[in-house]
Every structure is written in C-alpha cells, then in structure tokens.
C-alpha cells in the first residue's frame, strides 16, 4: 500500500534563519537517502508562493509567529492550494491557545520549541504515513471499492498514529502495542512527553470502525496531545478533549480514554478515566490490584461535565498496565471472557520487570486463550514500569 | 443477535439477544430503526438475553437515545446481566441512560 521508500517534499516555514541549516544538518541522512527533500520559506506569503509554484510538496512544517503572514493564517490558506497537504505546527510549549487554533484550522500535529529533532522525525514520518493513507482513502472512494478496502485504509491510519519510540529513562520504562482486529477497531495509545520530566500515557477506544472513525481517532489523539500539554491535571485534560470533540461530532461517535500522568520525581501517577477500564497495578512481589476508577463518561457524549482523578504512588519495581476491553473481553470457543484473572495469576508467578516483555506476556496470554476464535476487537496494552533503584 | 419487538400502548419493547459487536452493530441499528415508529412515545430495550455488547453497540444505543430525546420520546434499558451492567458502568453510560432492573419497573417509570 504505502511505500516507505518513496521520496517526500517538505516545506519548512520559519522566519528565524537558524532552522534551515539545522534541518539540513540533522536530516542529512534522510536527504542523502532520497527520502526527504526540503524547501524553505520565511513567512506565510513566501510559503504560499512556493506551494503555488510547486505542486509536488507533500507536507508543511510551519512556525506560528512570522512577519507578513503568520502560521495560523497560512494554515487557512493551504487547503485552497491543495487540500491533501498535511501541516505540522511548531509552537511554544504550553501555548494551548495557538495549538487549539492550529488544530481547528486543520493542522495534523504539532511539535514544541525547542525542536527535538528525534521527535520531529517521528512526527514527520507519522504525518507522511497518514497522508499516504489518506490519498489511498480518496482513491478508493473514487472507485467505490468495497468496505474491506475502506477498513484497510482505516487500519493503516490507525497504525500511523501510534508511537514507535518509547522514552528510555533511568527511573522508568514504557512500552505499548496494539493488535488490530481484522474488521473492527478503534484502539489507539499515546505516550506524550511533558515538561519537568513528566510523561503522559493514554489508551483509548473509539466506538466505531471505518474511515470516519479513523478520522475521529486522529482528532481525539491530536486534541489529547494538545490538552495534555496545556493542563497539569488528567481530569482537566479529558474535560477539554471532551468539550472539543463535542464541537463537531455529528456521527454520535465517542471514545473511551484512560489518561495518566507519571512524575518520576515523586513516583506519583495521577489518572483519569473517560469511560475506560481501570489500570492494573502489579507490584514487584507479583501481587496486583485494579486501581479504583474515576467515574467519568466516555468522551464525545455530554458537554461541560467535569472529570476527576486519582493518584497512586508507585514503588520501585511496580508496573502499571493500561489496556482496552479487547484484552478483558477476548473470548474463547466456550464464549468465556478472558477478564484479568489469568494475567494476575501469571504476574503473581512471574512479576513483570520489562515493559516490552510484559506486553508480550499479555498478548500471548490473550491470543492463547482465544485460540481459534477470530479476534473481535482491537487489543491494546501500554505498560509503565518503575525501575528498581540501584542498590 | 435478533431483535424481537412488542407494543404496550405507545411503548415499544425491543428484546435483544446474543452479542452486539462491531461486526453486527450496523445491523442492530437498522433493525431498531425500522422497529421504532415515529409515534412511539417510549422505547424500552430489554437486554435480559444479551450476552455481550461492545462499544460499537453502545454507540447505537446512544444514537437511539439522542433520536428519541430529540422528539421527546422516552428511552430506557432494562434487565441487564452483571457483565453487561459493568460495561454500562465503566463507560459511564449508566449516567446518561435510564437503567431499570426489570421490564415492569421500567414501564412504571415511563408512566411518571
């Protein structure tokens, strides 16, 4: 479907002169390999000229504050040139107002200053993958191909928004994975780098399948990332995402989300549920418990409602497992549900110590349990492990 | 999954059995839509024999609730098994949709 060997052209718009040499230097391997081509403009007016001259530009990466025409105005103009171009905004950290405006004007994603080039690279890849999927979606709509193709496209879009890199850290580790069901699906997860060393962790389940649901999933993810940077409390994050989703939700879609913020300095994890399953806390000795749920409604249904939060302090060696109902509701041939007990028993015998391995244990256990039964829902698992202190 | 319906006065009672998941949620939606008449004053979904409902099924219920609310018709569900009830509680749907232990209690609540 999508060839990663394809070459993409990216227009970088910034009035500050130091970004151009930095991009060329940091991205030199991709440029040499022919994967990316960069063109540069120094304000919105110049950017529009470049876009009008060159119809092979795939993506725009733009600063917000610029002379003559700023990035937000540029965002409004880009679809008039080519509605298939995807834009990513460079914003100041925590500048929720501009990030929101940018997203309302169709920005696909954003990166914060100072630009972390590894993060930028991941964001560019994700955006380009999404764009390729989107073009496929448009083509298949033109040809009126079967629902199955639409679902393939939706699954591709779904995969394109998942993180592929996880934070490596002296005090904690994170790993996540999503296994898409063949026909149905709406799960996603995200790992969001926050200020002061904190990290945001989210797992979510969108209520429908197909391209509209995939688009709803995209906006949920972007809104969540934006809100996560704008608010310290997980409940406030969910409240904001809920209200923003309701501004434009004709399809009656909703998304359940478990959003947690972990602060390695205090080892406190604060979490909020928007109609989602409780996280499972597993201690170093193998004992485990379900964390008590905050009673929030799934997002996208009722506006203006508050979301609460709970805080738990982790001990070294603890793991927190976030998951979707694809895990607990996996079914075997006898129509029994998997639940969580088999996992708790397994962890009791072998306490988890490595998040990637823990994720594998979860998926293997669910898949073995389900046996020959077809997977009826996406399965997602995101694990946070608080490392043992060196003795 | 089958939807069986009966009427008591201006109330439509729809009984659903089996599983509602992403694979048949659309079928569930169209069966409900064709069963509900525009002059039904209330709709009750009896879930006594439902074994499983996924979020795709919850979405159909949410859509029905919105459609009925928009024309001032009443809507409730009843007779949930423990596992189905848990799905409604975790998703927060128990806060936005009236849930009753039995048909009789739901029908009594409609009269108020």
- Crossing angle of helices A96-104 and A210-230, in 10° steps, is 160
Q: What angle do CA A157, A162, A168 make, to 5 degrees?
A: 160
Instruction: Report chain A residues whose CB lies below 8 A from the CB of B52.
Output: 329, 331, 337
For chains A and B, CB pairs below 8 A equal 78
CB atoms within 10 A of CB A283: 17
C-alpha span between A339 and A370 (Å, rounded): 12
Instruction: Report chain B residues whose CB lies below 8 A from the CB of A328.
Output: none
Q: Do A295 and B95 touch (CB under 8 A)?
A: yes
Structure tokens at A81: 């040139």
Type and span of the H or E element at A219:
helix A210-230
Q: Do B55 and A184 touch (CB under 8 A)?
A: no
Q: Do A377 and B23 touch (CB under 8 A)?
A: no
B 1-30 → A contacts, CB under 8 A? 21-23, 25
pLDDT of residue A1: 41
Q: What angle do CA A71, A77, A79 make, to 5 degrees?
A: 115
Q: A301 — contact with chain B (CB < 8 Å)?
A: yes
φ, ψ of residue A176 in degrees (nearest 5): -145, 155
Q: How far A84 CA lies from chain B's nearest CA (Å)?
A: 29
- Of the two residues A153 and B31, the one the predictor is more confident about is B31
pLDDT in tens, B45-92: 999 999 999 888 999 999 999 999 999 999 999 999 999 999 999 999
Q: How far A272 CA lies from chain B's nearest CA (Å)?
A: 12
pLDDT of residue A147: 59
Whether the Cβ atoms of residue A388 and residue A317 lie closer than 8 Å to each other: yes
φ, ψ of residue A315 in degrees (nearest 5): -105, 155
Q: How far A160 CA lies from chain B's nearest CA (Å)?
A: 21
Q: How far B59 CA lies from chain A's nearest CA (Å)?
A: 6
Identify the residue among B53, B92, B95 best suited for mutation to test binding to A, counting A beta carbons within 10 A and taking the highest: B92
pLDDT of residue A135: 76
Closest CB from B63, B83, B91 relative to A252 = B63
Decide: pTM greater than 0.80: yes
ipTM of the assembly?
A: 0.84
Q: Do A252 and B96 touch (CB under 8 A)?
A: no
Composition of chain B by helix, strand, coil, percent to 5: 45, 30, 30
Q: How far A64 CA lies from chain B's nearest CA (Å)?
A: 38
Identify the residue among A148, A151, A254, A339 best suited for mutation to test binding to B, counting B beta carbons within 10 A and taking the highest: A254
Q: A181 — contact with chain B (CB < 8 Å)?
A: yes
Q: A274 — contact with chain B (CB < 8 Å)?
A: yes
Q: Do A184 and B95 touch (CB under 8 A)?
A: no
Q: Do B58 and A207 touch (CB under 8 A)?
A: yes
pLDDT of residue A171: 93
φ, ψ of residue A189 in degrees (nearest 5): -140, 165
Nearest chain B Cα to A181, which residue?
A: B22
pLDDT of residue A149: 67
Q: A355 — contact with chain B (CB < 8 Å)?
A: no
* Coil, strand or helix at B15: strand
Closest CB from B23, B63, B92 relative to A298 = B92
Q: Which residues of chain A have pLDDT under 70?
A: 1-5, 137-150, 183-185, 391
B 22-81 → A contacts, CB under 8 A? 22-23, 25, 51-52, 54-56, 58-59, 62-63, 66
Q: Do B23 and A376 touch (CB under 8 A)?
A: yes
Q: Do A297 and B22 touch (CB under 8 A)?
A: no
Q: How far A8 CA lies from chain B's nearest CA (Å)?
A: 36
Q: Do A184 and B21 touch (CB under 8 A)?
A: yes
CA A387 distance to own-chain centroid: 24
Closest CB from B21, B51, B66 relative to A376 = B21
A 37-96 → B contacts, CB under 8 A? none
Overall residue count recorded for chain A in this entry: 391
CA A376 distance to own-chain centroid: 22
Q: A298 — contact with chain B (CB < 8 Å)?
A: yes
Whether the Cβ atoms of residue A356 and residue A321 lie closer than 8 Å to each other: no
CA A371 distance to own-chain centroid: 30
Q: How far B83 CA lies from chain A's nearest CA (Å)?
A: 10
């Amino acid at each position: 479907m999508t060839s990663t060997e394809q070459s993409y052209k990216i227009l970088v718009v910034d009035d500050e002169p130091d970004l151009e040499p930095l991009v060329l230097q940091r991205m030199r391997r991709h440029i040499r390999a022919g994967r990316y081509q960069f063109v540069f403009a120094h304000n919105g007016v110049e950017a529009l000229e470049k876009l009008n001259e060159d119809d092979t530009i795939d993506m725009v990466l733009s600063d917000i504050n610029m002379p003559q025409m700023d990035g937000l105005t540029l965002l409004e103009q880009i679809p008039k040139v080519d509605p298939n171009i995807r834009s990513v905004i460079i914003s100041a950290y925590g500048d929720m107002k501009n990030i929101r405006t940018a997203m309302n004007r169709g920005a696909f994603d954003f990166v914060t200053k100072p630009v972390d080039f590894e993060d930028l690279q991941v964001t560019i890849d994700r955006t380009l993958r999404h764009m390729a999927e989107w073009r496929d979606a448009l083509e298949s709509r033109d040809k009126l191909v079967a629902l199955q193709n639409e679902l393939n496209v939706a699954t591709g879009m779904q995969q394109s928004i998942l993180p592929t890199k996880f934070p490596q850290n002296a005090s904690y580790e994170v790993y996540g994975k999503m296994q898409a069901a063949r026909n149905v699906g709406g799960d996603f997860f995200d790992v969001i780098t926050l200020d002061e060393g904190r990290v945001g962790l989210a797992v979510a389940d969108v209520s429908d399948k197909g391209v509209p649901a995939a688009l709803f999933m995209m906006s949920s993810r972007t809104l969540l990332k934006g809100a996560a940077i704008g608010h310290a409390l997980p409940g406030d994050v969910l409240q904001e995402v809920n209200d923003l989703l309701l501004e434009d939700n004709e399809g009656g879609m909703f998304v359940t989300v478990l959003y947690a913020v972990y602060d390695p300095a205090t080892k406190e994890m604060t979490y909020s549920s928007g109609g989602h399953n409780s996280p499972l806390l597993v201690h170093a000795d193998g004992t485990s418990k379900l964390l008590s749920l905050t009673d929030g409604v799934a997002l996208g249904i009722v506006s203006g409602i508050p979301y609460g939060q709970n805080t738990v302090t982790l001990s070294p060696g603890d793991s927190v497992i976030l998951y979707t109902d694809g895990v607990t509701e996996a079914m075997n041939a006898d129509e029994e549900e998997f639940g969580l007990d088999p996992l708790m028993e397994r962890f009791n015998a072998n306490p988890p110590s490595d998040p990637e391995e823990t994720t594998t244990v979860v998926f293997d256990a669910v898949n073995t349990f389900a046996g020959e039964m077809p997977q009826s829902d996406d399965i997602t698992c995101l694990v946070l492990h608080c490392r043992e202190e060196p003795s | 999954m089958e939807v069986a319906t009966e009427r008591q006065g201006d109330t439509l009672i729809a009984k659903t059995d089996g599983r509602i998941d992403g694979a048949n949620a659309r079928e569930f939606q169209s069966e409900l839509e064709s069963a509900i008449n525009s002059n039904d004053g209330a709709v009750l979904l009896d879930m006594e024999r439902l074994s499983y409902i996924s979020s795709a099924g919850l979405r159909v219920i949410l859509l029905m609730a919105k459609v009925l609310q928009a024309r001032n018709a009443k809507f409730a569900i009843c007779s949930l098994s423990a596992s189905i009830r848990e799905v409604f509680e975790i998703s927060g749907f128990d806060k936005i949709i009236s849930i009753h232990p039995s048909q009789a209690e739901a029908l009594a609540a409609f009269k108020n």
